[in-house]
Amino acid sequence: MAERIRVAVVGGGAAGMSAASRVKRLLGDRAEVVVFEKGGWVSFALCGTPYYIGCEVKTLDDLVHYPLSEFVEKRGIDVRLFTEVVDVEADVRRLRWRRRGGEEGVYEYDYLVLATGAVPKVPGPWRELLGYENFFVLRSLDDADRIRGYLVRDSVRTVAIIGAGYIGYEVGEAVRRLGRRAVIVEMMPSVLPAVLDPDMAEEAAKPLLENGVELKLGTAVKEFEAEGGKVRRAVLSNGESVEADAFIVAIGVAPNRFLAEKAGLKIGSTGAVWTDERMRTSRPEIYAVGDVAETRDLVTGKPVWVPLAPAANKMGFVAGTNIAGGEAFFPGVVRTSVTGAFGTVVAATGLSMAQAEREGFRPVAAKLTARTRAAYVPDSGWVTLKVVADEETGRLLGAQAVGDETAFWRINVVAALLMKQGTVWDLFSVDLGYMPKVAPVWDPLVIAARLLMRRLGTRPKK
Amino acid sequence: MAERIRVAVVGGGAAGMSAASRVKRLLGDRAEVVVFEKGGWVSFALCGTPYYIGCEVKTLDDLVHYPLSEFVEKRGIDVRLFTEVVDVEADVRRLRWRRRGGEEGVYEYDYLVLATGAVPKVPGPWRELLGYENFFVLRSLDDADRIRGYLVRDSVRTVAIIGAGYIGYEVGEAVRRLGRRAVIVEMMPSVLPAVLDPDMAEEAAKPLLENGVELKLGTAVKEFEAEGGKVRRAVLSNGESVEADAFIVAIGVAPNRFLAEKAGLKIGSTGAVWTDERMRTSRPEIYAVGDVAETRDLVTGKPVWVPLAPAANKMGFVAGTNIAGGEAFFPGVVRTSVTGAFGTVVAATGLSMAQAEREGFRPVAAKLTARTRAAYVPDSGWVTLKVVADEETGRLLGAQAVGDETAFWRINVVAALLMKQGTVWDLFSVDLGYMPKVAPVWDPLVIAARLLMRRLGTRPKK
């Protein structure tokens, strides 16, 4: 009979709780699983925070996938809230924790799961501004609560959002939903620059502009000016300045690898914690999952860091399975992502043209705007779709779509093909269903394949 | 300089017009392309006829993808309406046509494209009933017009539909939309028996039942009784009888291979015209495309006959490319199909459990009902999803889904994986995007993969 194993999980987000749940499911009483969470929530949905800010979701409770009791009572996990892990002594398999209020202790583990997530990037000089009541980042439910609480004040007229990534994009909508003026400042010349080529970014900017979100693109914040206990304005590199009643900084996140460094773990080329396909770090008894962990890009074959929730959940499942003595693998991602505002959905997978060029491919692209259902269906929507492929081999490299909700699903179909090294000719042949109410008979994906075949030929390359 | 080639296309539906258009696009004046269509429409959308019957689509013109002028004037195709091809003399590459009104002639071709479609199955004794004004099949726009014209008469209270395949399913909704009583009689014990396992068929039957469509399952029509110039009732094998004011027979279709037989072409094991991946028949100068042609099932590797529009269009494109001197391939299908009624979408791909067993696999299935978006999104829908895999290899074999529109797209994702011989572990890993408004973080597809891994293990089989 095996001894009871002791599993410590640091971080109660999706990845951590997924790992913890999996170990308990497989081992039951044969494992003690302790989750250390420095905040007051577990299994929370950061992705839903913009809806909370915009009052589409009324309460923070709604953003919690499962109540604490589900984990503690049903699954038998020892969840320690408001408890930060402050050190890891990997050689003796021991961590040191500190509870809010000052209590401290150590925990000796057989396995450690680092699910410490990511932290918002805030350039050094801006950090002290986080002490002002009207200067925010959005990386926790508590942040979301503070932001909404502030934005609904009568005195708030204008909200400046720094960064036009997913969070900036979605918070832009949320701010408008609250009836406030929204100004987004983005250093790059287009919105969602990490995933969209500039031409597709123009499509993605439309719903923002049409709904009164102001965009200041291609200009960075040089400095913020505070006055009377509040930040008052952002001075931009182009000489303009943006006066606002609240500021939300959303310029990206970085893996929270403080403990990984304490434990002496290998850091990957992306800056996140190196892992193998079992989600093991360079120490076999320590796993890293979720936004702190590096994985592989199945298009390039190279390490990649994509801090998104579905991968985090799967990584947790895989780590938990392996810790419990099973064998499970997380092969990697193809960078699929989706965002949206005002009813427009923006999705992407694989590489953009710009990324494909940087990776040494010879990318070609097909782009089209098409109806998403048969023309005679009354409420047919539209999608603008761009598919990128390698001219030499015909391999699909990526796709971007902006339009109605089907944009998301068309990207998912490409993602499935990317995972299986699909080609342009596969995209032509893929057997998509057809009913006039849900799709046109020549799907935009298949039309994109036809356009690409004009460049690559209709005969598949070997 | 090559001589001008002469291409005859028989049938002006999707497949025929697609082939004709492709030849003209690639060769322009170097090809003469003549389309012989025995009816009065080309490029018509049979799939939309139930919407026309139910008055969701107002006019027949709406169901025509392109007007005739598009083909004749823009694309330079010689379209001969109301002109039936009555014979093919393959050895001398000549066909004989007859125009409505009696004019006859011959046409000598270099290439012949058979796009003669499918004809509704009507058992011998019922054929003479087609002469009655209230007894219908639905296989042309004109049929749809006659049916609607009859069903909107004041005297029509009850409509009996024979067959609960796609057409019966969709016409059931259409009849209810016209405010008529609808009774569907299906010989098999469940609806959509060709694509759904009985448990999923029960889900698919719900929207019909909830909207007042009456189902008589597991009982066949023994005979129809006519009286006073109209068919009055269907006598069923279970002893019941169904009295109705109109009858629509929709028990399936068969490839219209009359001309293929005249030409002495090889008929495949499915009963449709044998073709290779270039859509050539057993005679290299004759191509068969669309509902008359057999293709390959990429899951079983065997011949299959799936008369659906997307494949028909692609087959036409491929045939046209090859006739024009290019090289293009249609590798086959995975049987993806979709239907729906009253807002519920029913989609399937690959093999059902029953089909997989018949094909000699060792199928296992996972089934679940889940929300289609994050739980806290106000208008989240539901989907019941069943995924079938081979226990021995872990290969995905098929999937069925009933629910909101995302049911269709989840099936498309499985279809993409089926084409690439994807496994249960691929389905777990597939990098689907996530945003609370469009999907839950654990997609039902991924949960299905987890359920299947309980049977097959988390470690991929070699």
Q: Where are the beta strands (DSSP E) in A230-381?
A: 230-236, 241-243, 246-249, 253-255, 286-288, 295-296, 303-304, 337-341, 344-350, 363-371
Q: Kindly state whether residue B72 falls inside one of the protein's structural domains.
A: yes
From the list A271, A277, A278, the residue with the least C-alpha distance to A257 is A271
Q: Which of B196, B217, B251 is the last residue of a domain?
A: B251
B335 in any annotated domain: no
Q: Domain range holding B398?
A: 344-455
Residue B5 confidence (pLDDT) above 50: yes
What predicted TM-score, i.e. pTM, was given to this entire model?
0.97
Residues of B within 8 A of A63 (CB-CB) are 376
Cα–Cα nearest to B193, from B348, B8, B410, B373: B348
- Would residue A397 count as lying in a domain? yes
Answer whether A430 sits within 8 Å of B415, measured CB to CB. yes
CATH number reported for the structural domain that contains residue B290 in this entry: 3.50.50.60
Strands B303-304 and B78-80: unpaired
In this structure, is residue A376 part of a structural domain? yes
Distance (Å, whole) CA B416 – CA A418: 10
Q: Which two tokens stand for residue B363?
A: 């199928």
Give the C-alpha separation, B148 to B60, whole Å: 11
Residues A182 and A232 in one domain: yes
Q: Are A130 and A244 members of one domain?
A: yes
- In a shared domain, residues B354 and B312: no
B462 occurs within a structural domain: no
Residues A220 and A240 in one domain: yes
**CB contact set of B61 (below 8 Å; sequence gap of 6+):** none
Same domain, A232 and A311: no
Inter-chain contacts counted by CB atoms under 8 A, chains A and B = 229
Q: How far is CA A244 from CA A161, B37, B174, B214, B295, in A?
A: 10, 67, 55, 62, 64
Contact in structure between B45 and B64 (CB atoms under 8 Å): yes
Q: What is the reported pLDDT for A1?
A: 45
Output helix, strand, coil percentages for chain B, rounded to the nearest 5. 30, 30, 40
Inter-chain residue contact A433 with B335, CB threshold 8 Å: no
Phi, psi (rounded to 5 degrees) for B310: -60, -45
Distance to chain B for A258, nearest Cα, Å: 27
User: Is residue B179 in some structural domain?
Assistant: yes
DSSP state letter for B135: E
Rounded to the nearest 10°, the torsion over CA B146, B152, B154, B158 is 90
Positions of A annotated as catalytic residues are 47
Whether the complex's predicted ipTM surpasses the cut of 0.90: yes
- State the smallest CA–CA distance between residue A283 and chain B in angstroms: 22
Q: Is there a single domain that holds both residue A225 and residue A289?
A: no
Task: Looking at the structure, tell me whether residues A144 and A208 fall in a common domain.
Answer: yes
B419/A412 touch (CB, cutoff 8 Å), yes or no: no
Measure the CA–CA gap between A137 and A117, rounded to whole angstroms. 15
d(CA A250, CA A259) in angstroms, rounded, equals 24
Q: The domain spanning residue A451 has which CATH number? A: 3.30.390.30
The residue among B431, B432, B451 with the most chain A CBs within 10 A of its CB, best to mutate, is B431
Residue B48 and residue A459: Cβ atoms within 8 Å?
Answer: no
User: Which sign, positive or negative, has the C-alpha torsion B275, B276, B277, B280?
Assistant: negative
Contacts of A314 in chain B (CB under 8 A): 428-429, 446
Name which of A67, A22, A21 is nearest A42 in CA terms: A67
- pLDDT tens, B18-57? 999 999 999 999 999 999 999 999 988 788 999 999 999 9
For B26, which DSSP code? H
Distance CA A283, CA A265 (A): 7
Domain count, chain B: 3
Q: How many CA atoms lie within 13 A of A386 on its CB side?
A: 25
User: Is there a single domain that holds both residue A263 and residue A195?
Assistant: no
Write out pLDDT tens, residues B314-363. 999 999 999 999 999 999 999 999 999 999 999 999 999 999 999 999 99
Instruction: Report the length, in residues, of chain A.
Output: 462
Q: Does residue A364 belong to any structural domain of this protein? A: yes
Tell me which chain B residues have a C-beta less than 8 angstroms from the C-beta of A428.
314
Residues B126 and B236 in one domain: yes
Contact A433 B415 (CB under 8 A): yes
Nearest residue in chain B measured CA to CA from A167: B435
Residue in chain A lying closest to B436 (CA): A48
* Most A CBs within 10 Å, among B441, B442, B446, B455, to test the A interface: B441
Chain B residues whose CB is inside 8 A of the A438 CB are: 338, 340, 345, 405, 408
Q: What is the pLDDT along chain A (462 residues), one digit of tens a residue?
A: 457 999 999 999 999 999 999 999 999 999 999 999 999 999 887 889 999 999 999 999 888 888 899 999 999 999 999 999 999 999 999 999 999 999 999 999 999 999 999 999 999 999 999 999 999 999 999 999 999 999 999 999 999 999 999 999 999 999 999 999 999 999 999 999 999 999 999 999 999 999 999 999 999 999 999 999 999 999 999 999 999 999 999 999 999 999 999 999 999 999 999 999 999 999 999 999 999 999 999 999 999 999 999 999 999 999 999 999 999 999 999 999 999 999 999 999 999 999 999 999 999 999 999 999 998 888 889 999 999 999 999 999 999 999 999 999 999 999 999 999 999 999 999 999 999 999 999 999 999 999 999 999 999 987
Task: Say if A366 falls within a structural domain.
Answer: yes
Contact A435 B408 (CB under 8 A): yes
Distance, CA of A428 to CA of A448 (rounded, Å): 8
A144 with A242, same domain: the answer is yes
Residues B127 and B246 in one domain: yes
Q: Indicate if B88 and B173 belong to the same structural domain.
A: no
